[in-house]
Chains A and B, each alone.
Chain A
Amino acid sequence: DTGVSQDPRHKITKRGQNVTFRCDPISEHNRLYWYRQTLGQGPEFLTYFQNEAQLEKSRLLSDRFSAERPKGSFSTLEIQRTEQGDSAMYLCASSLGQGGRNQPQHFGDGTRLSIL
């Protein structure tokens, strides 16, 4: 069990640029979540996939944000035309949902995005 892996760990970019983050969940986990965390706050939910289907999106996920999970394994989160307010830690989590129980979500160590 290698845990949830996120890449890159840090990203610095200029305002207006596009950025893409990758998340590799724990193998066989069918559910994948993206969260965002700003300094001093708890993580905030962005979106959730079950297999390749995106089942829920937060109002925080503006039209500049898009997430995909094309084969039901890894996921990408893209931010277009980045703004200063996008500076945050972007966290990915995965869980195994089967039968009548929803297993706990396990988090990666995040991608820290800094907008210059």
Chain B
Amino acid sequence: DAKTTQPPSMDCAEGRAANLPCNHSTISGNEYVYWYRQIHSQGPQYIIHGLKNNETNEMASLIITEDRKSSTLILPHATLRDTAVYYCIAKRGETSGSRLTFGEGTQLTVNP
């Protein structure tokens, strides 16, 4: 799986949009971009994933650049409960199950 690079930490004001970047310059054509987050003392929580088109669900939006070398997770109106470590993962989306390879992620702190 392609290596991903994320900033170690970010801050965001409550109510504002949080934009979390991720670089995956060596991503291959069959690798999806997955985002998970982990709140302290809990297991990782799935947020969203995509291949090349932008995706949106009730939690967030995922913007993938046209060359697929980077992406941005957007939390449109961050709340204090969004404070967590956010992981960007490149993973083959094939029929067989495959592991998630977590990096160190981005610690997002939402401030009041």
Show the binding face of A for B, using Cβ within 8 Å: 4, 31, 33, 35, 40-45, 48, 50, 55-56, 58, 91, 93, 95, 97, 99-102, 104-110
Q: Are A43 and B46 in contact (CB under 8 A)?
A: no
Q: Whole-angstrom distance from the CB of A43 to the nearest CB of chain B?
A: 5
Q: A42-B87, A42-B102, A42-B105 are in contact. Are A48 and B97 (CB under 8 A)?
A: yes
B43 within 8 A of A: yes
Q: A91-B43, A107-B43 are in contact. Are A45 and B97 (CB under 8 A)?
A: no
Q: Are B93 and A97 in contact (CB under 8 A)?
A: no
- Tally A-B pairs: CB < 8 A: 66
Q: Are B97 and A109 in contact (CB under 8 A)?
A: no
Q: Are A101 and B93 in contact (CB under 8 A)?
A: yes
Show the binding face of B for A, using Cβ within 8 Å: 34, 41-46, 49, 85, 87, 93-105
A107 vs B34: C-alpha distance when bound (angstroms): 14
Q: Which residues of B contact A99 (CB under 8 A)?
A: 95
Q: Are A107 and B45 in contact (CB under 8 A)?
A: yes
**B44 CB contact (under 8 Å) in A91, A101, A102:** A91
Q: Are A107 and B97 in contact (CB under 8 A)?
A: no
Q: Are A41 and B44 in contact (CB under 8 A)?
A: no
Q: Which residues of B contact A55 (CB under 8 A)?
A: 96-97
Q: Are B99 and A48 in contact (CB under 8 A)?
A: yes
A84 vs B104: C-alpha distance when bound (angstroms): 23
Q: Whole-angstrom distance from the CB of B88 to the nearest CB of chain A?
A: 11
Residue of B nearest to A91 (CB): B43
Q: Whole-angstrom distance from the CB of B81 to the nearest CB of chain A?
A: 16
Q: Whole-angstrom distance from the CB of B24 to the nearest CB of chain A?
A: 15
